[in-house]
């Protein structure tokens, strides 16, 4: 590789280890986990429970398949589970099969397992947030706000998708619309706190990408969905309003996480505050 093309050096550079396939795991995994939580809390039975549980499992499986496709040696994928004491990736990998099994069982008619699936879904999405935070060399990822922001965004996305699925199944749980509104507000408040905490520590390209995503999250991901949810409360015969709000909540949350992984993943570069000089005592 030529010197001009080399990504490493004293200045910050965009990480290249996690690509769109890794981002797909965080996007689909968080969204699917939130949908499973919403489905469990909706208290529905039959197709009204099976449909969102099935979609949630499909999203999580798609995300995991994306990570599997990213591996340079897929046959060694089983090694990811060998270090659960210190690795959040191992914990995610161990939680995933239990989550999928409980969610599928709930969809098959064992509704009492839906709550266990919801608890495992929260564990799963939290592990994802901690995986990102564990990258200490990337300022936008290592911030302590990241795990709770991942959980809040995953729940907002999943509760939003629940309304989209419910528009087809006919499921009704009016309080979930209010819960979605609260989650949208919580998500944008957490994002603003996260961005304020980062301050000027980011590379200019990472800061620009996050700020652009933050504006989309505010307008298309918070204010417009809140207006649609308010309209749906006034017009209960128009479930498409809540569905549209939910799809916007899910799409903007997915866009934020994709931006965080793919465009804001700049390292901090090398910091050498004190350079040793030969012949001079340090």
For residue 182, CA distances in Å to 55, 85, 152, 187, 254 come to 23, 34, 10, 9, 18
- The reply to whether 206 falls in a domain is yes
Q: Per the structure, how many domains does the chain have?
A: 1
Residue 184 lies in a domain: yes
Report the CATH number at residue 44: 1.20.1630.10
Q: Which of 92, 156, 76 shows the shortest CA–CA distance to 128?
A: 92
10-to-27, 99, 182, 272 alpha-carbon distances in Å: 31, 43, 43, 9
- How far is residue 273's CA from residue 282's CA, in Å, rounded to a whole number? 12
Structure tokens at 98: 């239990």
Dump pLDDT digits (tens) for 178-235. Answer: 999 999 999 999 999 999 999 988 999 999 999 999 999 999 999 999 999 999 999 9
Question: What is the chain's percent helix, strand, coil content, to nearest 5?
Answer: 75, 0, 25
This prediction's pTM:
0.92
CB neighbour class for 216 (10 Å; exposed up to 12, middle 13-18, buried from 19): middle
Per residue in 87-127, pLDDT (tens digit) is 999 999 999 999 999 999 999 999 999 999 999 999 999 99
Domain that holds residue 28: 20-262
Long-range contacts of 231-237 (CB under 8 A, 24+ apart): 232/177, 233/174, 233/177
Q: Does 1 fall in a domain?
A: no
What average pLDDT does this structure show over 250-272?
91
User: Which contacts qualify for 270-275: CB closer than 8 Å, 24 or more apart?
Assistant: 270/9, 270/10, 272/10
- Please report whether residue 114 resides in a domain: yes
If you ran DSSP here, which 8-state letter would residue 14 be given? B
Distance CA 104, CA 118 (A): 12
> Is 168 contained in some domain?
yes
Q: What is the reported pLDDT for 273? A: 62
Task: Check if the beta carbon of residue 145 is closer than 8 Å to that of residue 20.
Answer: no
């Amino acid at each position: 590789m030529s010197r001009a093309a080399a990504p490493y050096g004293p200045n910050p550079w965009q990480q290249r280890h996690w690509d769109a396939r890794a981002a797909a795991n965080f996007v689909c995994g968080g969204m699917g986990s939130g949908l499973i939580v919403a489905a469990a809390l909706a208290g529905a039975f039959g197709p009204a429970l099976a449909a969102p549980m099935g979609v949630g499992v499909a999203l999580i499986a798609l995300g995991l398949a994306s990570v599997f496709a990213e591996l340079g040696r897929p046959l060694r994928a089983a090694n990811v589970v060998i270090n659960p004491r210190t690795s959040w990736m191992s914990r995610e990998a161990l939680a995933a099969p239990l989550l999928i099994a409980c969610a599928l069982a709930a969809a098959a008619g064992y509704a009492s397992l839906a709550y266990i699936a919801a608890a495992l879904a929260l564990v799963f999405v939290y592990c994802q947030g901690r995986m990102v935070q564990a990258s200490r060399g990337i300022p936008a990822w290592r911030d302590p706000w990241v795990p709770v922001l991942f959980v809040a965004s995953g729940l907002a996305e999943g509760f939003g998708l629940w309304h989209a699925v419910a528009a087809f199944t006919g499921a009704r749980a009016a309080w979930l619309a209010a819960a979605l509104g609260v989650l949208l507000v919580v998500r944008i408040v957490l994002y603003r706190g996260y961005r304020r905490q980062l301050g000027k520590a980011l590379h200019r390209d990472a800061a620009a990408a996050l700020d652009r995503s933050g504006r989309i999250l505010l307008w298309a991901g918070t204010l417009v969905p809140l207006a649609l949810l308010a309209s749906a409360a006034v017009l209960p015969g128009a479930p498409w309003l809540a569905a549209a709000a939910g799809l916007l909540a899910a799409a903007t949350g997915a866009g934020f996480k994709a931006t965080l992984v793919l465009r804001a993943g700049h390292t901090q570069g090398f910091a050498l505050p004190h350079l040793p000089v030969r012949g001079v005592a340090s």
